[in-house]
Amino acid sequence: MPASCEQAITLTGDLHARPAGALAVAAATFASAVSLTVGATRADAKSVLGVMGLGATSGQRVTVAADGSDAEEAVATIVAILAEATRVGA
Amino acid sequence: MSPDATVGIVLVSHSAPLAEGAAELAAQISGGTVTIIPAGGTDDGGLGTSAAKVQRAVKLADSGAGVVIIPDLGSAVLTVRALLAEAGDLPASVELADAPFVEGVVAATVAAAAGGDITAVLAAAEEARHARKL
Task: Assess if residue B110 is contained within a domain.
Answer: yes
Distance between CA atoms of residues B109 and A33, nearest Å: 20
E strand or H helix that includes residue B96: strand B94-96
Structure confidence by residue, pLDDT tens digits, A28-80 = 999 999 999 999 999 999 999 999 999 999 999 999 999 999 999 999 999 99
Nearest chain A residue to B132 by CA distance is A53
* Interface touch B29/A49, C-beta < 8 Å: no
- Chain B interface includes A55 (CB < 8 A): yes
> Is A16 in the active site?
yes
Task: Assess if residue A90 is contained within a domain.
Answer: no
Task: Assess if residue B4 is contained within a domain.
Answer: no
E strand or H helix that includes residue B17: helix B16-30
DSSP string, chain A: --EEEEEEEE-SS---HHHHHHHHHHHTTSSSEEEEEETTEEEETT-HHHHHHT---TT-EEEEEEEETTHHHHHHHHHHHHHHHTSTT-
What is the CATH number for A27?
A: 3.30.1340.10
- ipTM for the complex? 0.86
Decide if pLDDT at B1 tops 70: no
Give the total number of structural domains in chain A.
1
Contacts of A52 (CB under 8 A, 6+ apart): A15, A17, A20, B131, B133
Nearest Cα of chain B lies from the Cα of A47 at a distance, in angstroms, of 7
Structure confidence by residue, pLDDT tens digits, B56-89 = 999 999 999 999 999 999 999 999 999 999 877 8
Domain that includes residue B98, residue range: 27-130
- Chain B interface includes A39 (CB < 8 A): no
Domain that includes residue A35, residue range: 3-85
Q: What is the mean pLDDT of residues B92-96?
A: 94
Task: Assess if residue B109 is contained within a domain.
Answer: yes
What is the CATH number for B82?
A: 3.40.50.510
Nearest chain A residue to B116 by CA distance is A28
DSSP character at residue B43: T
Q: Which of A16, A26, A74, A72 is nearest to A47 (CA)?
A: A26
Contacts of B44 (CB under 8 A, 6+ apart): none
- Chain B interface includes A46 (CB < 8 A): yes
